[in-house]
Structure 1
Amino acid sequence: MAAVPLPDPVVRGLPEGSESSGEHLTILYRGPLASCDYDCPYCPFAKRRDSPEQLRADRAALERFTAWVAAQDHPVSVLFTPWGEGVVRSWYRRALVELSHVPHVRRVAIQTNLSHRTAWTSDADLSRLALWATYHPGQVPYERFLGKARDLAERGVRYSVGVVGQPEHLADARRLRADLPDHVYLWVNAAEGRAYTDAEAADWTALDPLFGYSRDPHPSLGRACRTGESVVSVDGDGTVRRCHFVPAVLGNLYDGTFRAGLRPRPCPLDVCDCHIGYVHLEPLGLYDVFAGGILERIPKLA
């Protein structure tokens, strides 16, 4: 995959397939789930345990959210971004399957480490389901992860695979790129707080031609962003914010008060350094780069 230059600013656009369908709302949902089965040293949320009460609360919150999405009369897309690992929980698998069969749901996706079995995807509508998978060297045997990734490809599941750009992960990432099916996009997240030399960046760009977007934080203060207009963040209580990184509340999902707050607005933060945030910054033009694959991080060129 050849390197792709960072584009010039482009005009506002919607994800592929949504231009003629009226209101389209993209929701990043993050419930109270915090438990994860991995212990990645670069993750502040690793190896947490949820009590039975916390798990029941998370399940109830997710079921309430799923019912709300299903009851809407306009197109909706959903990306689940749990602090922990959601797909090992039956209620996340069920939500993904159920929402994939809702006619007005354009895409339902989740961030996952693929530690779960993959057979559940057979019950989903694969034209709407997608997975954003991350490989964590040291947390899972390489062959086990690769086997699940290949199985997803054989089942026809749409997914991307990524790694965190730690120096010690480079050899594993190169091996993974060589072993994954050619059509599977391999992305690289810049390690938090790490300044990459040009030589280091070139190594990662050889694997992910779009690594340049992740390498450095993006100046965002005052820049147009779709969050707060057609993209929102929702927590387990239904509190709606423009994105995960801006604490100001727009309203609540379940009483409908958030709708009055939806409008174009500039970003209030100095920088944006997370893909699920900066992909919505309009000057970057990433809705063209990831056309049809915004939520699952699959670029149009993949």
Structure 2
Amino acid sequence: MLTILYRGPLASCDYDCPYCPFAKRRDTPDQLRADRAALERFVAWVKDQRQSISVLFTPWGEGLVRSWYRRALVDLSHMPHVERVAIQTNLSHRTDWTSEADLDHLALWCTYHPDQVPYKRFLTKCRDLTTLGVRYSVGIVGLDEHLESAHRLRKDLPPDVYLWVNAAEGHTYTDAEAARWTEIDPHFSYSRTPHPSQGLPCRTGETVISVDGEGTVRRCHFVPTVLGNLYDGSYRESLRPRPCPLGTCDCHIGYVHLESLPLYDVFAGGLLERIPHAWPR
């Protein structure tokens, strides 16, 4: 199976979180049209494939406020060779569109931003997903000012919904601080510190690839070396086992693929949507 991390040119977001590492812009109508065309081209390519494929959308901005991302997820979920299609989202969009999807193959990776959305509004969206039967995880950034909200969310979410915690970028956690977050997310230790990766085997570049709006293929979002292009098929000859060239990997969508970590077992069956295999505990 080939796992694809797709990130098109979309960069506009309806939130402006100060801790977000992504540079945001206001997409012009022309930029939005270009993003839509790029996404539709990608979906058409997936439709024509015969091998098993899983797709995780990791947009710079918020995709699900755009109709073409909702349509892409619905269409991909119904393709028999697509094992899973998921997207990272702030859940600010309406949720009823999911009723059109094949829920055996659709999943959402949702992030709660306490300073961007009223708590009750976000929780209502989560409960809507539960009622609709959508598979989803919820996460929060591990900042001190978010701890109370995280505990509240863990209490109010259904127990079968995994609440993950991302270590704040550049933040160092004492053992006592880490323990507080581990009470909420038992797998927080994987996010707490960057993982040494240089020279270690990684599935990216072999069974996992990153694709941008032009179809340019790289092994992952964090290694700029180009492996070829999706649409002319030139990437295929570059797929092979290879070690990571970077010193460390500190993002879940990167280090989850390191063979030195047990995360393919930890998240078996829920790798793209970040749901542990043995959940709820």
Shift of residue 52 of structure 1?
Answer: 0.2
- Residue number in structure 2 paired with 1:162: 139
- Residue number in structure 1 paired with 2:116: 139
State the AA in 1 paired with 2:76: L
- Residue number in structure 2 paired with 1:32: 9
State the AA in 1 paired with 2:134: V
Shift of residue 221 of structure 1?
Answer: 0.4
List aligned pairs for 1:85-234, cutoff 5 A.
Answer: 85-234=62-211
Secondary structure (helix, strand or coil) at the match of 2:92 reads: coil
Identity within the alignment, %: 78
Shift of residue 208 of structure 1?
Answer: 0.2
- Residue number in structure 1 paired with 2:221: 244
Separation of aligned partners in 2, 1:28 and 1:46: 19
- Residue number in structure 2 paired with 1:76: 53
Q: TM-score, normalised by structure 2?
A: 0.98
State the AA in 2 paired with 1:118: T
- Residue number in structure 2 paired with 1:294: 271
Secondary structure (helix, strand or coil) at the match of 1:130 reads: strand
Separation of aligned partners in 2, 1:283 and 1:227: 13
Asked if the contact 1:40/1:46 (under 8 Å) is kept, the reply is no
Q: What do the CA deviations read for 1:150-193 (whole angstroms, capped 9, x no partner)?
A: 11011110000000001100000000000001100000000000
1:59 and 2:59 matched: no
Separation of aligned partners in 1, 2:119 and 2:105: 28
State the AA in 2 paired with 1:175: R
Asked if the contact 2:24/2:60 (under 8 Å) is kept, the reply is no
Runs of 5+ consecutive residues of structure 1 not aligned to the other structure:
1-23
Shift of residue 143 of structure 1?
Answer: 0.1
Secondary structure (helix, strand or coil) at the match of 2:214 reads: coil
Separation of aligned partners in 1, 2:173 and 2:91: 28
Shift of residue 138 of structure 1?
Answer: 1.0
List aligned pairs for 1:3-14, cutoff 5 A.
Answer: none
Runs of 5+ consecutive residues of structure 2 not aligned to the other structure:
none
State the AA in 2 paired with 1:281: L
Q: TM-score, normalised by structure 1?
A: 0.92
Secondary structure (helix, strand or coil) at the match of 2:69 reads: helix
Shift of residue 43 of structure 1?
Answer: 1.1
Distance 1:94 1:59, change over 3 A: same
Secondary structure (helix, strand or coil) at the match of 1:132 reads: strand
Separation of aligned partners in 1, 2:62 and 2:164: 19
Shift of residue 48 of structure 1?
Answer: 2.6
State the AA in 2 paired with 1:234: V
Q: What do the CA deviations read for 1:227-280 (whole angstroms, capped 9, x no partner)?
A: 000000000000000000000000000000000000000000000000000000
Shift of residue 44 of structure 1?
Answer: 3.7
Asked if the contact 1:114/1:148 (under 8 Å) is kept, the reply is yes
Separation of aligned partners in 1, 2:24 and 2:237: 39
Secondary structure (helix, strand or coil) at the match of 1:234 reads: strand
Secondary structure (helix, strand or coil) at the match of 2:149 reads: helix
Separation of aligned partners in 2, 1:92 and 1:40: 22
Instruction: Report how many residues are paired.
Output: 279
